[in-house]
Chains A and B, each alone.
Chain A
């Protein structure tokens, strides 16, 4: 499920309000030749809509969630809690990407069973390793297709 048998790149939902940060992440992926289907939600509300709502198409859920904590409307920890509380998505791999290294945030993330916690600026290699550890292998350019 994490890695499509068809060899399609993993689908990742990036929840990030800051366009620049989102762009940096994408640029990092591109530079390292990593391929993933990345969709961005600009706030917590949109993320929850995508995960649980009707607006996401195609219907299957993403393979991983990259989640910022400080988000407009609904914060990252709340999104995480909702994911963990939901039946079908409760074991979705979630990596927190945040500028905050505050104890309270770390504790909150740990409590809500985030799979990993990375403080920005994010080292893309590290993120790839983390995702790899979670069983999500990012495709390298030219590997498939």
Chain B
């Protein structure tokens, strides 16, 4: 594009480059004009001098004639009378003769009253001023004098007298005046001298004026030339600037485009700027901007002030729409108001802006919804940013705490404050902290200026409460599973051992039985069979109880309100036969509590505990088993108490383990207490045994916290 512009510019650029007059030429011209003018002036002055001299010279005679004429009127000097037409060459005045010869006898009649010698006087008298005689220049005399003569005719009276004297014919005569030329010539010469002086002066002054004027004019020309040069330079540069401008430039006047540069053509999609000339000024404007821009143009014309930048849309000749940024400037073109429109393509910028805005919007919506808090502090711990959905846990709106100090707001959260301090010292730290009842995994990042000085910090805090809870739950679950697994292993081990035991018995006794049958020892055979039957019976019991044990936790009966008084009575009824057989008396204390629980399982609990008490009650003495309750820390504690053999402290935990029997001789399978414990624990309760030692009886206690029901009587 740049290349095209440079190559395309010449037609205009060349014109501009031809530019103003060269300075020397103008000055030469001025000098030439001044010289010509001076020469002309000198010629005029010389001509005037010559003409004046000639004129003066010529006028010497005229002046003499004039003087002669004037004198003719007053002082005629000669009178010659001739009669009869006779040619008298002897007349003293030849000039009069010449006059007479040329005029004939046309001269005026002379009065005849006076005759010569008084004749001249008479002529002068009768003729008045000039006697009616025309004075004529008749020549220059020998003594260089101007002679004027006039002819006169004698009257008939004259003729009579002259005839009497022998003179016949017409009487004619003449008058003559002579004026010397020399004095006049001297006067003229004086005049001519003064002409020389005056013409020289006038010529000189004129020349001075011419050269002074020329000098001044030359200075003016130089100044104008300089200005023109400067302006030419500016124009040329401006022309190049406009042509090569990376901005589109269009000028329009009276609604028509009158100028467009290359960039404007390129942006609009025209091949050449000239294609745009003459088109309507708003023809490339997107229709949706027509009204706005039309008002703008009017405003520019009205106020004669530039219009600020406005983002508009242009429709290119190929139909593509581009975003442009447009400024309008009022100008004048050939004396008419016009608008210069400067614009540039901001399509890419708008596209970038749009994308950025989209990204920003997406980010904002993410931040607004994400369980995070984005925050930043300045060097003094004052919030400069607080964003994110996590703020709701603090009851804060985004940006609400901007301008407030973290020391004031969260000063008591020492973990957080410590990490903030470290970040403000330039350390990048992260860690969990518990604030507003939530767990936050926060990163604290120092913000540095160009000089690497810490100017603040930014923080991002993720709400990891749920994750932490899940982790805790998972850990608890894992622990529970591990416990269960270990329990299961123990269980498997125990079960395999204890189930094998009767099998070994059976197998061993079958061998013995075979031998005893062979030897026909009836007593031993019966004993062998007893052992085998006992082992088989034991095995069945073990399997039954194991099955029962496995049901706990798998089979869940609906919970109901259970009155333990009633439950104890039911147990007493079930075990009535055995109690009687073993001579054990069962006492049930009044006012047993009521619990919300699985009634069937709780029945098993009481049954097992009572059964256990019967088996371990003391031999001899009075055997008593008591079911009762007492107040405990977590609600009522139920107990089954016997006055039997008691349990040493070190076995009080062990007895609840599966198949643990302190005294196998007392019967049982070692499952009963394990089963009981499992039921109690399934209800969230605890079971334990109290005994003051061997011989002092045992008390099995259990508590079911949170399951106690209010006493019916008290309700």
Q: Residues on A close to B: CB < 8 A?
A: 17-21, 23-24, 27, 31, 42-43, 70, 72-73, 98-100, 102, 104, 120-121
Question: Least Cβ distance of B518 to chain A in Å?
Answer: 12
* A72/B660 contact (C-beta < 8 A), A20-B534, A121-B507 known: yes
Residues of A within 8 A of B410 (CB): none
| Residue pair B662, A18 in contact (C-beta under 8 Å) | no
| Residue pair B531, A120 in contact (C-beta under 8 Å) | no
| Residue pair A99, B505 in contact (C-beta under 8 Å) | no
A8 to B497 CA separation, bound complex (whole angstroms): 36
For the A-B complex with A20-B502, A72-B661, A104-B493 known, give 11 more contacts whose Cβ atoms are closer than 8 Å: A19-B664, A20-B509, A20-B531, A23-B531, A42-B663, A72-B662, A73-B662, A98-B497, A99-B500, A100-B493, A100-B496
A24 to B509 CA separation, bound complex (whole angstroms): 7
Residues of B within 8 A of A20 (CB): 502, 505, 508-509, 531, 534-535
A99 to B497 CA separation, bound complex (whole angstroms): 6
Q: Among A17, A23, A72, which residue has the most Cβ atoms of chain B within 10 A? A: A72
Residues of B within 8 A of A70 (CB): 494, 497-498, 659
> Which residue in B496, B515, B651, B659 is a CB contact (below 8 Å) of A73?
B651
| Residue pair B501, A42 in contact (C-beta under 8 Å) | no
Question: Least Cβ distance of B322 to chain A in Å?
Answer: 83
A100 to B501 CA separation, bound complex (whole angstroms): 9
The 5 nearest A-B residue pairs measured at CB: A24-B508, A20-B505, A99-B500, A120-B504, A121-B504
A136 to B531 CA separation, bound complex (whole angstroms): 31
A121 to B328 CA separation, bound complex (whole angstroms): 113
| Residue pair B512, A42 in contact (C-beta under 8 Å) | no
A27 to B511 CA separation, bound complex (whole angstroms): 11
| Residue pair B501, A18 in contact (C-beta under 8 Å) | yes
Residues of B within 8 A of A120 (CB): 500, 504
Per the CB 8 Å criterion, the residue count for chain B at the interface is 27
A31 to B515 CA separation, bound complex (whole angstroms): 10
Residues of A within 8 A of B25 (CB): none
In the complex, whether B409 has a CB less than 8 A from a CB of chain A is no
A102 to B502 CA separation, bound complex (whole angstroms): 18
A42 to B661 CA separation, bound complex (whole angstroms): 11
| Residue pair A100, B497 in contact (C-beta under 8 Å) | yes
In the complex, whether B547 has a CB less than 8 A from a CB of chain A is no
A42 to B665 CA separation, bound complex (whole angstroms): 9
Q: List 13 A-B contacts (CB under 8 A).
A: A17-B661, A18-B505, A19-B665, A23-B531, A24-B509, A24-B512, A42-B663, A70-B494, A70-B659, A72-B660, A73-B654, A100-B496, A104-B493
Residues of B within 8 A of A100 (CB): 493, 496-497
Nearest CB in chain A to that of B538: its residue: A20
Residues of B within 8 A of A27 (CB): 508, 512
Residues of A within 8 A of B502 (CB): 20
A17 to B502 CA separation, bound complex (whole angstroms): 12
A72 to B664 CA separation, bound complex (whole angstroms): 8
Nearest CB in chain A to that of B516: its residue: A27
Nearest CB in chain B to that of A102: its residue: B493
> Which residue in B501, B504, B508, B663 is a CB contact (below 8 Å) of A72?
B663
| Residue pair B508, A121 in contact (C-beta under 8 Å) | yes
| Residue pair B501, A24 in contact (C-beta under 8 Å) | no
| Residue pair B512, A21 in contact (C-beta under 8 Å) | no
A73 to B652 CA separation, bound complex (whole angstroms): 10
Question: Least Cβ distance of A76 to chain B in Å?
Answer: 12
A19 to B535 CA separation, bound complex (whole angstroms): 11
| Residue pair B505, A21 in contact (C-beta under 8 Å) | yes
Question: Least Cβ distance of B664 to chain A in Å?
Answer: 5
Interface residues of B in 637-667 (CB under 8 A from A): 651, 654, 659-665
Residues of B within 8 A of A43 (CB): 662-663
Q: Among A43, A100, A120, which residue has the most Cβ atoms of chain B within 10 A? A: A120
A73 to B496 CA separation, bound complex (whole angstroms): 20
Residues of A within 8 A of B507 (CB): 121
Question: Least Cβ distance of B512 to chain A in Å?
Answer: 6
* A18/B664 contact (C-beta < 8 A), A27-B512, A99-B501 known: yes
A42 to B651 CA separation, bound complex (whole angstroms): 16
Residues of A within 8 A of B663 (CB): 42-43, 72
Nearest CB in chain A to that of B507: its residue: A121
A102 to B396 CA separation, bound complex (whole angstroms): 63
A102 to B531 CA separation, bound complex (whole angstroms): 27
| Residue pair A42, B509 in contact (C-beta under 8 Å) | no
A43 to B661 CA separation, bound complex (whole angstroms): 10
Residues of B within 8 A of A31 (CB): 515
Residues of B within 8 A of A17 (CB): 661, 664
Nearest CB in chain B to that of A18: its residue: B501
Residues of B within 8 A of A99 (CB): 497, 500-501, 504
Question: Least Cβ distance of A45 to chain B in Å?
Answer: 9
- Contact bitstring B531-573, A, C-beta under 8 A = 1, else 0: 1001100000000000000000000000000000000000000
Question: Least Cβ distance of A40 to chain B in Å?
Answer: 12
A43 to B494 CA separation, bound complex (whole angstroms): 17
Nearest CB in chain B to that of A24: its residue: B508
Question: Least Cβ distance of A135 to chain B in Å?
Answer: 27
A119 to B372 CA separation, bound complex (whole angstroms): 64
Question: Least Cβ distance of B539 to chain A in Å?
Answer: 12
Question: Least Cβ distance of B212 to chain A in Å?
Answer: 137
